[in-house]
Chains A and B, each alone.
Chain A
Amino acid sequence: MSDFLKIQGLQARIDADGTPKDILKGLDLEVPKGEVHVIMGPNGSGKSTLSYVLAGRDDYEVTGGSATFKGQDLLALEPEERAALGLFLAFQSPVELPGVNNANFLRTAVNAVRRARGEAELDAVAFLKAVRAETKHLSMSDDMLKRAVNVGFSGGEKKRNEVLQMRLLQPSFAILDETDSGLDIDALRIVAEGVNSLRSPDFSALVITHHQRLLDYIVPDRVHVMAHGRIIHSGGPDIAKTLEKQGYTQFLEAAA
């Protein structure tokens, strides 16, 4: 189905201390059902902005274009409605919630989403079982469940915690914003495995990364190059290798 996630001419701006700043400038992108796509692009090109706009962060103002997900107007939904619909964003910088017990946070989130999807809520026992299976998978210590959400977590622990949330919330479309950054090589493999094992005809992902090496672990269906708020080039996994060797210059020149 081609209109699983469909973005057309998307424009968005942010209020930067009183002056509006355009960041997305007519972005087109489609991610079909069951596919994993990668976005690469220079710092500041708007990759995180795209992920925030898709997830529903309201300090970005959408000034043009459209985004539909499963046939629905994504931009008209509240963030929690998007989550219920199956969208998940693994944050580039996960947010700390002081005093909020991680296990409690996860369970509240899982049950909120299950309720919205018309599924039965998990009781404490069922939830703990599910969570323990996942933490084991991701080589996370139980200690991280008892701590406050992301507070004092190392960079790598935060990223793993994002992947844990993704796996528990069972999205049909996940955006991973530089989830591989700051991971050691073992963690990288574990996280990649966390994504790969979700791959199915019913699961799609948009993976934002700066590192070609991630693509050794997660083999994408397509790679997009983003610059200045647009997708300027799309192709197969081999684009990433070209980028690694030659940088963005040739794509930027071709697009200019």
Chain B
Amino acid sequence: MPAVTETRETVEKLAKSSYEWGFETDIEMDIAPKGLSEETVRLISERKGEPQWMLEWRLKAFRAWLQMEEPGWAHIHHPPIDYQDAHYFAQPKKKPGPKSLDEVDPELLKTYAKLGIPLHEQALLAGVEGAEEQRLPVAVDAVFDSVSVATTFRKTLAEAGVIFCPISDAIREYPELVRKYLGTVVPIVDNFFAALNSAVFTDGSFVYIPEGVRCPMELSTYFRINARNTGQFERTLIIAEDRATVSYLEGCTAPQRDENQLHAAVVELIAMEDASIKYSTVQNWYPGDDEGRGGIYNFVTKRGICRGARSKISWTQVETGSAITWKYPSCVLAGEGSVGEFYSVAVTNNHQQADTGTKMIHLAPNTRSTIIAKTISAGHSDSTYRGLVRMQPKARNARNFTQCDSLLIGDQCGAHTVPYIESRNMTARVEHEATTSKISEDQLFYCRSRGLSEEDAVGLIVNGFCREVLKELPMEFAVEAQKLLQISLEGSVG
């Protein structure tokens, strides 16, 4: 029997083994009734103790959203989403939020322990093999459902002048900063899901790195959806002033459940002169059962702007979860000589659908962008890479290099590459390379003859295929990402 057939069968068998991290935590929740109306928006704003301008901003977004339609162009299919059939606000009942880890509900800590999330610095600093470069400690802002409940390392960060807090705290404590930047990269009316997010976002992170400061630690948020039928609307805003540097990690897992869950996050990054923002994501939301039922719908708007000269924004993502992923982290290169990067691994298995990619918008001269997208499809899954590179008239000598590689496991899956190139400047140069390959019988046999199981062999080959992207991840994320790749292809690869 050819290995691919076997592989497919193993995938099917293994997909039935339940989602490793699909558990639910029993914590008392404060939940708003189902449905979305102006009432809901007002309730959220009131519960968050927001100033009037914020409420008005939300209402403007809500009214705009009512006039908008869901985008229909992505290469994905799903039953219509009933926006009235979800809760838009849920938070653990224990209030006010704990000030230290000791105050955190032990149930919650147990959840983190199950997820293997290292809340303590010691755990984070525990030696990781191959960690050659000097590693920064990690500050964790854990988002549990809609409210950040544990934030560590605040003090060290405060000493460096770094602000890292839940965005709802920032709205109250740093209103002038939030008001100045919120919605400047992703405007309220940018798209259907961004408008929805603007109206009802309940949490997310706020990061501010002052001029000349190199953030002394990696900033990390672990997302997790826990309440049944709660839409998750995160809003993240990161600002790096002149010559500031920050690396931000985002990761998530979600418990197994029956109904599809909507997730529509918005992330905005702003890099000033010579500033650098690195944003890394390992995304592992529940993909649904082997028929795709019950998985997370992930519609995300992530965009960064390189406002200052020579600034740099780098997106790295490893996507293994969700029933549906719709996501295009983008860079607007407005500062002369600024740099945008996008490194991505997207894995789909069973009936997962992913439509992801990036947009690089070159506005200024001498801007450079690099896109490395690796797509792995197994089972009956379908994956589309969609990338836009736009060279505006002023983008003299701008450069883009794009490389898209697809790896197919089995013959029931699909991979599509859709590059859009728009060049309005004669001196700009755009290069695009694309490959599609399969794991060969030769490779599998070679590995197995050395004692590796077929599964380990596929894991090894897949990790090799993704190497250029994985090496961009901070060390502890890279290790986690490798594990995730293996888990998500388990059997798929069998």
Is B446's CB under 8 angstroms from A83's CB? Answer: no
Is A97's CB under 8 angstroms from B464's CB? Answer: yes
Is B466's CB under 8 angstroms from A79's CB? Answer: no
Is A148's CB under 8 angstroms from B464's CB? Answer: yes
Q: Digit string of B457-473 for contact with A (CB within 8 Å is 1, else 0)?
A: 00011011111100000
Q: Could you tell me how many residues of chain B have their Cβ less than 8 Å away from some Cβ of chain A?
A: 28
Q: Is B456 an interface residue (CB 8 A)?
A: yes
Is B451's CB under 8 angstroms from A97's CB? Answer: no
Residue of A57, A101, A116, A165 touching B445 (CB-CB under 8 A) = A57
Q: Which of A36-44, A107-115, A243-251 contacts B (4 or more CB under 8 A)?
A: A107-115
Q: Is A201 an interface residue (CB 8 A)?
A: no
Is B467's CB under 8 angstroms from A83's CB? Answer: no
Known contacts A80-B453, A99-B465, A112-B453; decide if A56 and B460 are in contact (CB<8 Å): no
Chain B residues positioned under 8 Å from A91 (CB to CB): 446
Residue of A58, A82, A97, A112 touching B3 (CB-CB under 8 A) = A58
Chain A residues positioned under 8 Å from B461 (CB to CB): 97, 100
Residue of B441, B446, B463 touching A59 (CB-CB under 8 A) = B441
Q: Is A74 an interface residue (CB 8 A)?
A: no
Is A108's CB under 8 angstroms from B456's CB? Answer: yes
Q: Is A124 an interface residue (CB 8 A)?
A: yes
Q: In terms of DSSP, what is the predominant structure of the interface of chain B?
A: helix
Chain A residues positioned under 8 Å from B2 (CB to CB): 59
Q: Which of A88, A99, A108, A109 has the most CB of B within 10 A?
A: A99
- Taking the nearest CB of chain A, how far is it from the CB of B479, in angstroms? 12
Is B464's CB under 8 angstroms from A109's CB? Answer: no
| Bound complex: CA A88 to CA B285 (Å) | 41
Is A108's CB under 8 angstroms from B452's CB? Answer: yes
Q: Is A95 an interface residue (CB 8 A)?
A: yes
Q: Give the nearest-CB partner of B465 in chain A.
A: A99
- Taking the nearest CB of chain B, how far is it from the CB of A97, in angstroms? 6
Residue of B442, B451, B466 touching A99 (CB-CB under 8 A) = B466
Residue of A95, A101, A105, A169 touching B442 (CB-CB under 8 A) = A95
Q: Which of A56, A109, A113 has the most CB of B within 10 A?
A: A109
- Taking the nearest CB of chain A, how far is it from the CB of B453, in angstroms? 6
Q: A83-B451, A98-B464 are in contact. List 19 more A-B contacts (CB 8 A).
A: A58-B1, A59-B441, A80-B449, A80-B451, A83-B450, A84-B451, A94-B446, A96-B443, A97-B464, A100-B463, A100-B467, A101-B464, A101-B467, A108-B456, A108-B460, A109-B450, A112-B451, A112-B452, A165-B450
Which 4 A/B pairs are nearest by Cβ-Cβ distance? A99-B464, A100-B464, A113-B451, A83-B451
Residues of B that sit less than 8 Å from A by CB: 1-3, 129-130, 440-443, 445-454, 456, 460-461, 463-468
